Each structure stands twice: as structure tokens, then as C-alpha cells.
């Protein structure tokens, strides 16, 4: 009995070893699944609710349209669905912005600037039939900006002058078969549509409707155009109904000749104000929990602070907590919550990408992932410390955890690393068992004591951009002129207790440091090191600075050692007088090119697994098309799969995988926000589908039945 069990265990171990070899043989190196983003990665212009099966068992869902291409961990081109837990796609989406959404005859309708939907022609308007996007005749000749349903027909408004090939000045109706005009239309863009008192109400930039003066707002009764008194004195961007009144929001400051700051209500005979109104444009309106909600550019409502979103309770305006950091352009409701979309990247002071939900007391994101503030955010530094991957850059939270500019990954979860660093981290290293960070934060260089960040010897007076260890000392390079109060021109050494200069230092910033052939190598923007002419790169032998040949002709951003060569990357075109195109190798005597180099900047370098990896702004390495990252095997450049979708700024290694940091949000066509992993999949992922699940178990079972000898 015991012998049988031992044989089974031994057999199982042999099989697992075999599976590991089999999986590695089946699954090549590739980009691995990465971090999702909270919300979406671009502006939201439209929010609507839609029930995909009408009276069926499926409930309502939120649909959003905009300029984004990602929702959560899903590639979603300008249109996406939130089901209450995750983002879902609708086909392959659109090729340009979606500005309006509506439900008509059980179909979802999208309007915008796009000319294709699901890869097929669909000029500015399309319908989702449950499985694919379909064109509505030949569509429009310009952007659709608003949609509504009136008298059983779909109404579209926007910038267009034709619909279905026929004249339709900025507004048209679809009866399910073909497009028709609404009289002679209006003379400029339509931005808002709604119904009130049995009529279709239209708002926008126009000043005539059906040839009659109609300042920025008009109504269509099914056969003729009518006005609302003398209208407004400027644009109407939003319409809704509230407490039996028609509400208009926009850029206007008067309605029917009376003061009305950007918002007013029509009671059937005259325009009414809502307190003192807003101090700037209103772009979106809806109702929620019995209140009127307004979103836009404004920062004041009725004289009180209300950052871009506010609610009217019938007597006064109230802010929605701290509001947003950029305009709100779309509003809706779903599952008892208010949904706000726009150009913002933070809500109530917390990073939140372009869309958020309000439960009546607090804001929350739609989805989890890495939270970054704005499109300029990035990861700029990588290292390993105590078995964790540490990232630094320009971000304020990661995962669902606040993390000011620096965070650590334990292999499964993100964690914060203190709150003392108050700005961008540009360099990371481990020295004497301590994690060291350099950057543009207060003091510019600090160490982690296990509980908090502490200034290192009084820090430096300006930015630290690079760190390395040489002869048992920590070396810092950057823009500074003093370290710990001691004069040190752009480079300094820390011996564990005090800062000291390295000769006379450099005459311009140091951006990269490494050690090669027992010497310290510094590179950057300088043209002199100590008293020696040294064009952007120099070596320190422990006592003096020396040039590396004639150096390079422009900035160096990155250094690494690959085999017996020192590799430099940057903006330079020549090295040692010869053309190298942004990357070059120094063999101790002369500079040499690596193929024909890159077509744009190289920001990061590392050597791993016998190959050199480079990252930056380039899209060609040698004559090979790549996407911001490539590898050199000693003779030719090769792409890393389909690469990433934006600049790479940092490279490193973790758990035998190449780690890539930068400004990208996809890697290998998969969502991988700002940090990507290139390498082998898990040994148990036998079918290479990114997951270890029952499908892999089925392969395991089949192999088990065949026996280990097979």
C-alpha cells in the first residue's frame, strides 16, 4: 500500500516535471497579462443605460462612448459596457470618437465622428443589433453629437448637412428605413436633444431654425419649428426635464433677455433661474434622487465652490463632495448611482480615470487597477528589494492602494511604500541593504528604513536622475550642485556617513550611471568632466575623470553592460565620430554601432538572458519595425512581440522575466498599464491561454492516462 502511494507520488512528480518542459516548449516568450486600469483611458462624451434583451432576464447596463480605447482590462474602441462588475466590449468598436448614445427599437444607437464600426463602413452613426454594429443607410457627412427618440423615430443632431445622402441641416429623423430632414433644419451645430410638452427640443450653436430666428434653442412639433421667446445669448449644450420644467445648460448668461448664468428652466411660458447659476459652461444635465445634476467646466455654483459637478435640491446648489479636476461632459444613472464621465483624472482628490460613480455620499471608480493621474503619468525606475519588484515614477496610487510615486509588487499584490515622497521618482537602487530613491521630490534622495522614507545625508539641492554603486559607495547623478551641503557638481558619492564630490564634477546634468571594467561611467548632457573635455560620457578611475574617445554628439539617457561591452542609449546620432543612431557599444577602445541603431530616442537599457533589451520612443530598431522596445542578440535587432503602445522609460528583471515600465497601457495587444512583463508563462499553463484552469487539467489528465513513458 505504502509502496503504491510512493510510486504514484513519484509518477506525479515526473509528470509535473514533464509538464513544465512541455509547457515551456509549447509557449514561447511573450507578453504576459498585466495591470488593468480603473475606468477608461480617454475622455467620456456620452453615458446611457441600455437593456440588451428588453424584458428578458438580463438587466440594464451602462454604455459609454468617447475617445477611449481601453476599459478596465478590455480593449474597447470608443464604446464600452459596464455590467456592474466589469467592462465588456461591443464588437471591435469604432475608428473615431463616439459623442452620443440612445436606445431605439431595442437596438443601441451610437453617433459620433467615426466612419467605421466593427471594421465596416458606418458614417457617424450605427446600431448594435446584439451581435454586431450595422450602418444606418449611408449615414451622415459630418459628426453626430446628440441622439433622442421622438414620435417613434430616431432623431440625430450634430454638425452634418446630409443624412442618407439627402440634405438635412444638422438634424434628421430615421423611421427605421431611411433618413428625412426636419423642415429646413437649423443653421449651425446641434448639441442637445430632449422632449418636452409633446415636442422635440433642440439646443446648440444655431441662431435660426426653419429659417426663423431661434437663438440657440428651438422646438419641433412634428411639422414646424417654434421658438422659446428670444432664446439665449450663447450656446446651449445640454437639455433635460426636472419637476415639470425643461432645463437648459450651456455657455449663456441670459435667457429671454433676463440674467441666467449657464442654466435656466422653462415652465411653459417663461425662463426661470436656479439661484446664481454657474461661473462657467454647463455641458451635461440629468436628475438623481430627486435632484437636478449639472456637470461642466464651472467651479462655482450659486457663489459656492462646486468643482465641475453640483446638485440642485429645489432651493440651492450643493457640491458633489470635492468634485472633479477637469470637465464633466456626460451624466447618467445606473443601479441607484449617478454616473459621471468627462475629461477628469481625479474625483474628490482621488485618481479616477474619466468615469466615476456617486452613491449619494462618496465617489467610486468603475473597475480597479493602477490609478494614475493624467496622461503624462509613467513608471521611470525599477529595481528589486527584499524579493519584491519596486517601481517609481509619476503616479499617486497603484492597485486599489494609495502609493505616492513609489510602490512594491510582491508577486501577486501591490503595496504602498510610505507617504513621504511628494513628487516624481526617477531612480532606484539597493545600497548596503537599504532601498534608495532619487528624483524630483523634497530632498531629492532618500532611503527606506522599513517604515518611512528618510533624507540621505541632507539630500541634494536639485534633481537626482541616476544611481549606482561603485567601490562600496553610493553614486548619485543629476542636476544638483550640492549634496549634503557640500559642493558637488551634478555627481556625488555617499560613503555611508557623508557626501563627497567626485573631482570637479560635470558642467551639465548626469542622466545615467553604471560600472564598467572597474571604472565608474557617467553620462548625460555634459561636455566636460572635471577639467577634461568629455562629450556626454566619461569614466572615473577612482581619482580622475577621463573621456571615452570623442564621446557622443547628444544626450545619453541610459547605460548598461552587455558581455564585454558598455552600451549607451539616448538622442545622439554619432559616437566616436561614426554614425550609430541613438545606441552604441564601447569595447574599451572604440565606439561601435549596433546594427543601424534606432529611429528615435533610447531611454532604457538592460542585459538579461544573454540578450540586450532597449526601450524608448523608437519604432524601428535596425531596419526592423518595433513598438518602443527591442532586443539585440549580438548581431541583429528583434522585436519583443508586438511591443507596447507608448514610450518605454525603464527596464529591469524580476522572477526571470523582463520588466518594462513606461507610459504605455497595452503590451502585446493586452492591457498592461504602465508595467509590462515579457517571458514564459506559468509551467502549468499547458494551452498557453494565459490561465491555469480546467482546460489545462484536461491536458494533464490526458497526459496522465498516456503514462509518463509517453
SS3 of 328-379: the string is: EEEEEEECCEEEEEECCCEECCEECCCEEEECCCCEEECCCCCCCCCCCCEE
CA geometry: angle 376, 379, 380, nearest 5 deg: 105
> Beta 309-312 vs 291-296: how paired, if at all?
antiparallel
Q: What is the pLDDT of residues 60-106, one digit of tens each?
A: 889 999 999 988 888 899 999 998 888 899 999 999 999 999 999 98
Q: What's the CA gap between 422 and 545, in Å, rounded?
A: 34
Other Cβ atoms within 10 Å of 413 Cβ, number: 10
Q: For the CA atoms of the chain, what is the radius of gyration?
A: 31
* Strand segments (E) across 386-534: 388-394, 397-398, 401-402, 406-409, 414-416, 425-431, 434-439, 445-448, 453-455, 464-470, 473-478, 482-483, 486-487, 491-494, 499-501, 510-516, 519-524, 528-529, 532-533
Distance CA 370, CA 407 (A): 11
Distance between alpha carbon 163 and the CA centroid of its chain, in Å? 35
- The separation between CA 359 and the C-alpha centre of its own chain, rounded to angstroms, equals 25
Tell me the three state secondary structure of residue 168.
coil
CA distance 224 to 203: 16
pLDDT at 369: 59
CA gap 101, 188 in Å, rounded: 21
685 — phi, psi (to 5°)? -85, 80
**CA 135 – CA 139 distance, rounded (Å):** 7
Residue partners of 586: CB distance under 8 A and separation at least 6: 516, 548, 549, 565, 566, 567, 568, 575, 592
How deeply is 233 buried, as exposed, middle or buried, from its count of CB atoms within 10 A (0-12, 13-18, 19+)?
Answer: middle
| Phi and psi at residue 189, to the nearest 5° | -60, 145
Cβ proximity of 290 and 323 under 8 Å: no
Q: How many CB atoms lie within 10 A of CB 412?
A: 5
List the chain residues with pLDDT less than 50: 1-25, 374-375, 686-692, 709-710
Pairwise CA distance, residues 549 & 566, whole Å: 13
Quote the pLDDT of residue 3: 39
Q: Tell me if the pTM is above 0.75.
A: yes
**pLDDT value for 301:** 97
Strands 350-351 and 346-347: antiparallel
Q: Is 322 exposed, middle or buried (0-12, 13-18, 19+ CB in 10 A)?
A: middle
Q: Is 95 helix (H, G, I), strand (E, B) or coil?
A: coil
Residues 6 or more apart whose CB falls under 8 angstroms from that of 178 comprise 137, 164
Residue 503 near residue 520 (C-beta atoms within 8 A): no
Amino acid at each position: 500500500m505504502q509502496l503504491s502511494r510512493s510510486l504514484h507520488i513519484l509518477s506525479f512528480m515526473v509528470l509535473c516535471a514533464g509538464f513544465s518542459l512541455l509547457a515551456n516548449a509549447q509557449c514561447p516568450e511573450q507578453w504576459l497579462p498585466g495591470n488593468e486600469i480603473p475606468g477608461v483611458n480617454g475622455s467620456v462624451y456620452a453615458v446611457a443605460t441600455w437593456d440588451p434583451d428588453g424584458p428578458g432576464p438580463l438587466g440594464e447596463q451602462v454604455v459609454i462612448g468617447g475617445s477611449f480605447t481601453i476599459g478596465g482590462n478590455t480593449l474597447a474602441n470608443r464604446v464600452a459596457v459596464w455590467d456592474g462588475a466589469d467592462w465588456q466590449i461591443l464588437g471591435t468598436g469604432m475608428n473615431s470618437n463616439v459623442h452620443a448614445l440612445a436606445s431605439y427599437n431595442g437596438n443601441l444607437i451610437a453617433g459620433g465622428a467615426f466612419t467605421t464600426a466593427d471594421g465596416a463602413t458606418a458614417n457617424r452613426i450605427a446600431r448594435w443589433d446584439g451581435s454586431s454594429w450595422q450602418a444606418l443607410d449611408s449615414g451622415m457627412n459630418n459628426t453626430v453629437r446628440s441622439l433622442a427618440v421622438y414620435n417613434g423615430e430616431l432623431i440625430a443632431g450634430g454638425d452634418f448637412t446630409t443624412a442618407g445622402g439627402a440634405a438635412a441641416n444638422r438634424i434628421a429623423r430615421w423611421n427605421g428605413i431611411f433618413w428625412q430632414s426636419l423642415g429646413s433644419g437649423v443653421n449651425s451645430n446641434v448639441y442637445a436633444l430632449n422632449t418636452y410638452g409633446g415636442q422635440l427640443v433642440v439646443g446648440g450653436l444655431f441662431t435660426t431654425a426653419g429659417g426663423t430666428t431661434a437663438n440657440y434653442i428651438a422646438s419641433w412639433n412634428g411639422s414646424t419649428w417654434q421658438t422659446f421667446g428670444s432664446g439665449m445669448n450663447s450656446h446651449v449644450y445640454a437639455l433635460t426635464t426636472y419637476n415639470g420644467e425643461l432645463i437648459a445648460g450651456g455657455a449663456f448668461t441670459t435667457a429671454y433677455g433676463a440674467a441666467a448664468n449657464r442654466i435656466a428652466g422653462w415652465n411653459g411660458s417663461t425662463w426661470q433661474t436656479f439661484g446664481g447659476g454657474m461661473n462657467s459652461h454647463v455641458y451635461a444635465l440629468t436628475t438623481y434622487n430627486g435632484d437636478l445634476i449639472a456637470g461642466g467646466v464651472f467651479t462655482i455654483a450659486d457663489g459656492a465652490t462646486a468643482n465641475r459637478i453640483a446638485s440642485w435640491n429645489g432651493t440651492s446648489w450643493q457640491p458633489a463632495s470635492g468634485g472633479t479636476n477637469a470637465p464633466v461632459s456626460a451624466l447618467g444613472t445606473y443601479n441607484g448611482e449617478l454616473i459621471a464621465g468627462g475629461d477628469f483624472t481625479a474625483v474628490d482628490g482621488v485618481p479616477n480615470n474619466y468615469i466615476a460613480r456617486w452613491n449619494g455620499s462618496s465617489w467610486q471608480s468603475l473597475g480597479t487597477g493602477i490609478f494614475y493621474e493624467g496622461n503624462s503619468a509613467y513608471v521611470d525606475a525599477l529595481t528589486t528589494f527584499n524579493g519584491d519588484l519596486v517601481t517609481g515614477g509619476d503616479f499617486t496610487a497603484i492597485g486599489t492602494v494609495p502609493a505616492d510615486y513609489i510602490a512594491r509588487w510582491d508577486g501577486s499584490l501591490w503595496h504602498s511604500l510610505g507617504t513621504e515622497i511628494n513628487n516624481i521618482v526617477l531612480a532606484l537602487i539597493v545600497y548596503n541593504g537599504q532601498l534608495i530613491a532619487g528624483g524630483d521630490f523634497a530632498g531629492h534622495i532618500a532611503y527606506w528604513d522599513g517604515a518611512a522614507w528618510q533624507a540621505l545625508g541632507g539630500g541634494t539641492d536639485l534633481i537626482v536622475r541616476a544611481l549606482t554603486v561603485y567601490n562600496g559607495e553610493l553614486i548619485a547623478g543629476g542636476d544638483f550642485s550640492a549634496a549634503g551641503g557640500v559642493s558637488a557638481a551634478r555627481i556625488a558619492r555617499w560613503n555611508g556617513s557623508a557626501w563627497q564630490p567626485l573631482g570637479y564634477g560635470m558642467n551639465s546634468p548626469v542622466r545615467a550611471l553604471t560600472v564598467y571594467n572597474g571604472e565608474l561611467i557617467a553620462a548625460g548632457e555634459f561636455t566636460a568632466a572635471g577639467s577634461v573635455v568629455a562629450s556626454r560620457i566619461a569614466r572615473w578611475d577612482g581619482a580622475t575623470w577621463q573621456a571615452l574617445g570623442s564621446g557622443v554628439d547628444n544626450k545619453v539617457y541610459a547605460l548598461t553592460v552587455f558581455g564585454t561591452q558598455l552600451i549607451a542609449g539616448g538622442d545622439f546620432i554619432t559616437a566616436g565620430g561614426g554614425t550609430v543612431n541613438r545606441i552604441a557599444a564601447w569595447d574599451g577602445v572604440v565606439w561601435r554601432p549596433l546594427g543601424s541603431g534606432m529611429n528615435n530616442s533610447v531611454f532604457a537599457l538592460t542585459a538579461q538572458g544573454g540578450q540586450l533589451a532597449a526601450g524608448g520612443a523608437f519604432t524601428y530598431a535596425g531596419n526592423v519595425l518595433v513598438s518602443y522596445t527591442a532586443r539585440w542578440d549580438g548581431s541583429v535587432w528583434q522585436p519583443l512581440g508586438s511591443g507596447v503602445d507608448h514610450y518605454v522609460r525603464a527596464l529591469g528583471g524580476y522572477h526571470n522575466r523582463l520588466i518594462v515600465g513606461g507610459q504605455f497601457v497595452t503590451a502585446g495587444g493586452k492591457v498592461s498599464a504602465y508595467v509590462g512583463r515579457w517571458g514564459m508563462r506559468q509551467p502549468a499553463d499547458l494551452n498557453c491561454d494565459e490561465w491555469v484552469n480546467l482546460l489545462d487539467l484536461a491536458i494533464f489528465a490526458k497526459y496522465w492516462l498516456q503514462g509518463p513513458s509517453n
